[in-house]
Structure 1
Amino acid sequence: MDSQYELLNKIAEKQQEIASDWATYWTEFSSFSTWGFWFDVVMFALPLLLLYFKLDRTRAFQIGFFGFNVHVWFGYFDTFGTVQGYWTYPYQISSYLPNSLGMDASLVPVLFMLLYQWVTNTNRNYYVYSLLLGALLSFVLKPIFVSINLFKFYMGANYFHLFLTYIVIIVLSKLITDLFLHFQKESSSKVS
């Protein structure tokens, strides 16, 4: 039992040391005085502003629920990748989050929300267009981010791995949203 808590204490100490290193790194290389920090701020603010003007308010809850799914799943995958050392973001809004807040909480969810809104309003195939958007983000946007030092790979991770995560996120987000829509319809039909 003692060895369990010794190991747990050792892990906690290492995590505290890593958190301290990130705070130092952020202060010296990623804070308010860097263009990358402000790029992430803009990448966070602009998509939300766009969503404010483009959101179909008659379906705001459904589209928002879908977007929240994308945000959560993308955040989990992105955190996994950064914590495991597969990739990192040299510039961040905060040293307390290992990810790109602009990507995880705004750009990616908003793009998928607007796509979801469009495909459901026009009876287009969600999976085809979502895969195209995932490919665009994985094979066009991320290489641009790598070239301007906004994203960095480690340990053999690559763009195809990112694309695979988008496939999982696309499927999970749609299935969960559809499941809750089914629950809503089912409960409405029982009331009627």
Structure 2
Amino acid sequence: MNYPSFDEVLQVRELLIGTVRSHWVNDNITSWKWWFLLLSATLPWLLWNHFRDRTRSIELLCYGLMWAVISIILDLIGVNAIFWGYPNKVLPMMLPFFPADLTVIPVTFMFVYQLSTNFTAYIISTVIAAGCFSFIIEPIFIKLKLLTLNNWNHAFSFVGFVLISFFIYGIVNLLKEH
């Protein structure tokens, strides 16, 4: 079997980058979807800055940073495995899921963490947030053509959100004890 050389891989990547830029210039930046993504990338942080518990800012940012890192890693895996995809992006050289992974998801769950007075409240709030993301927001994004699901379903997302949330909660609380 004749495998492609690294130079051939680079040529295909250059073609892909040119295609992505052309799509972004001709389809993304001129649409309402681009403005929506830009707003999604900025507004949650402005809200968080205004409503955060300033006495716990470092703890909340640690919690949110863990959400962001895990979200990016899992999104990279999911997109590359073609489980799902994002037709639009804020900038052509950025990850298309930047607004969700670095803004909407971490900020939402930082508010869940901040507002939960005990673990039971955290569980309930997490299940509600995970349900909203998985069974309301994802289907809306699919209808708006901001997200495509290929070999994935909303129940997988729901379980993922809940498990990640519990994992991060445990890590942050372990760090607080030491």
TM, length-normalised to structure 1: 0.82
Structure 1 residue 38 and structure 2 residue 38: aligned?
no
Task: Please list every run of at least 4 consecutive aligned residues from structure 1 whose deviation after the TM superposition is greater than 6 angstroms.
Answer: none
How far did residue 14 of structure 1 move?
Answer: 3.6
Deviations 1:23-42 (A, max 9, x none): 222122112x1110000011
Determine the C-alpha separation between the residues in 1 that align with 2:92 and 2:159: 27
Cross-structure match for 2:135: 139
CA contact (8 A) 1:88 1:151 kept: yes
Determine the C-alpha separation between the residues in 1 that align with 2:167 and 2:22: 36
The letter of the residue matching 2:113 is: Y
Determine the C-alpha separation between the residues in 2 that align with 1:8 and 1:176: 40
Look at both structures and tell me which one has the larger radius of gyration over its CA atoms: 1
Structure 1 residue 24 and structure 2 residue 22: aligned?
yes
Cα RMSD over matched residues? 2.0
Unmatched tracts of structure 2, length 5 or more: none
Cross-structure match for 1:176: 171
Say how many residue pairs are matched.
Answer: 176
Cross-structure match for 2:98: 101
TM, length-normalised to structure 2: 0.88
CA contact (8 A) 2:34 2:88 kept: yes
How far did residue 171 of structure 1 move?
Answer: 2.6
After superposition, the Cα gap between the structure-2 partners of 1:86 and 1:123, relative to the gap in structure 1 and judged at 3 Å, is same
Deviations 1:39-77 (A, max 9, x none): 001111111111011100001000110011111111111
After superposition, the Cα gap between the structure-2 partners of 1:95 and 1:182, relative to the gap in structure 1 and judged at 3 Å, is same
Unmatched tracts of structure 1, length 5 or more: 184-192
How far did residue 113 of structure 1 move?
Answer: 0.3
Cross-structure match for 1:162: 157
Structure 1 residue 68 and structure 2 residue 60: aligned?
no
